[in-house]
Amino acid sequence: MNNCCEPSVPQPDSSFETFARPVADWQARLMASLTRSVQASDQNLGHLEEAILHWTRDLERKLLEEAAQKKADQSPPVCPVCGHKLSRRTRDQERTFHSRFGPVTVKRLRGWCRRCAAWRFPADHALGLSDTGGASPSVQEMAALTVSKMPVQEASAVIERLTGVKLPPATLDREARRQGQRADQQRTQLDEQMRTVQGAGQMLPRPQAPLTLVIELDAWNIRERDDWGHSTQKRAAGQEPSRWHWVYGGTCFRLDQRVTSAGGRARILSCGTVMTRSGVAGLREQLFAEAQRHGLAQAAKVLVVADGAVWIWNLPGDRFAQAQQRLDYYHASQHLWAVAHALHPEAEVAARAWVQPLLKKLKGGRVTALLNDLRTLAKRLRKKKRAAVQAEVAYLESHRERMDYAAARRNGEPQGSGAMESTCRQYQCRFKRPGQFWSCAGDEGLMCLETFWRNDRWQLLFPHILHGDPRKN
């Protein structure tokens, strides 16, 4: 419902006062400052850059304030939630918020929505201000981006240095959490869309050749304070408060997106990552949506690659029922090394000499021959050594269908889940810093922000970023 022609809404005025006198003032001051800087022998380009930033900032702030006021004045007096006309309207309700150029104040209309039974500020909605936080969309983005990459204290100092925006850590933390929550809601909506016809809009273009979809899985620990403040009661009740929780991650990509660099390292051009605190079931559902975006329904082959953890092989279930499974090669080789060290404790050279022919068999996909070798060996051993070899035989036997490394090389498929492990390490760098405790919901939101960034969907959260990009505008 758009009532922009309603008589009570003033028509926008296309002239900006800021372009009159303030521009002349700005020009005079900046010119003087630049001239001084040019003449000073101890000042370089950095001083010139700072001078332009410093002297232009207030002009930018005034322009933003004036334009924001015009936009506020133009907002029709209707409820932004239900579209109902507002009653009991009052004007000139001031609100000050943090903007990219410093604090900005606008006066806006307040009215009562009878249908929602709530006070509404239509201008806030038009400007993209949330009901609670005091940050402009650009500052909301700054909070989301920096806090999902670094600790809040550091982020606060970095923002101030780079942009001049002063956001105390507590304010920044609140804003980042709010954005995290919003990201989490948006992700849920996008994933739900994938179950309907609307999901087609999120899908990657259909490939020409038959498609192999690769899914890699991994998990890691995070420290949280979900029992914060309740430790004493929990201990009194005989329970140890838990601090460490699992984060489950998955990444999926089309095999044609995996290229080898000049140095021989595999690189993935485009992949979709999922990282969640909401358990294996949560990962399965999020990963299913992500795999659908990457062409799960059209895939001629789906391949799941991961280390040996039990949860991983239980995950595919009905969502990825046809998937072929592969045990990470490095992980499998570690089990052979375990036998080598059991047979030759503290004799690295002998252990290495023993393990080489077996690694060759593993790499060549000759799993039956490898297992026969190990069984023959076990028969010759006694007690501890025999048990050690038998344990590894049992482990490798349970994964024998997942060790087709020769076929992997022939098909140009990954032999290991290195891409996912490296992604997990990158998340850990941010989320495992000493002294950091968040709640489960806080973690999920911040990780969700990081995932939007990685999956190149940041613009879905902050559509204003497309405005300055001529390629996307």
Nearer to Zn ion by C-beta: 108 or 258? 108
**Least spacing, CB of residue 86 vs Zn ion, in Å:** 8
At position 143, the amino acid (one-letter code) is A
Contact 365, 407 (CB under 8 A): yes
**Least spacing, CB of residue 266 vs Zn ion, in Å:** 53
Q: Where are the alpha helices (DSSP H) in 244-296?
A: 279-293
Nearer to Zn ion by C-beta: 113 or 355? 113
- For residues 414 and 410, give the distance between their C-alpha atoms in angstroms, rounded to a whole number: 10
- For residues 224 and 241, give the distance between their C-alpha atoms in angstroms, rounded to a whole number: 11
Q: What is the DSSP string of 42-72?
A: T--HHHHHHHHHHHHHHHHHHHHHHHHHHHH
**Least spacing, CB of residue 128 vs Zn ion, in Å:** 19
**Least spacing, CB of residue 1 vs Zn ion, in Å:** 11
Nearer to Zn ion by C-beta: 125 or 293? 125
Could you give phi then psi for residue 305, rounded to 5 degrees? -120, 130
Positions in the binding site for Zn ion (CB under 5 A): 79, 81-82, 84, 113, 115-116
**Least spacing, CB of residue 122 vs Zn ion, in Å:** 10
Nearer to Zn ion by C-beta: 114 or 301? 114
Supply the DSSP symbol for 19.
Answer: G
Q: Which long-range contacts (CB under 8 A, 24 or more apart) does 18-22 make?
A: 18/59, 18/62, 18/63, 18/66, 19/63, 22/58, 22/59, 22/62
**Least spacing, CB of residue 133 vs Zn ion, in Å:** 21
Name the burial class of residue 78, with classes exposed (0-12), middle (13-18) and buried (19+) by CB atoms within 10 angstroms of its CB: buried
**Least spacing, CB of residue 258 vs Zn ion, in Å:** 50
Nearer to Zn ion by C-beta: 71 or 85? 85
- For residues 309 and 375, give the distance between their C-alpha atoms in angstroms, rounded to a whole number: 24
Q: Where are the alpha helices (DSSP H) in 253-328?
A: 279-293, 310-314
Half-sphere exposure (Cβ direction) of 291: Cα atoms closer than 13 Å: 27
**Least spacing, CB of residue 87 vs Zn ion, in Å:** 11
Nearer to Zn ion by C-beta: 124 or 141? 124
Nearer to Zn ion by C-beta: 113 or 447? 113
Nearer to Zn ion by C-beta: 82 or 429? 82
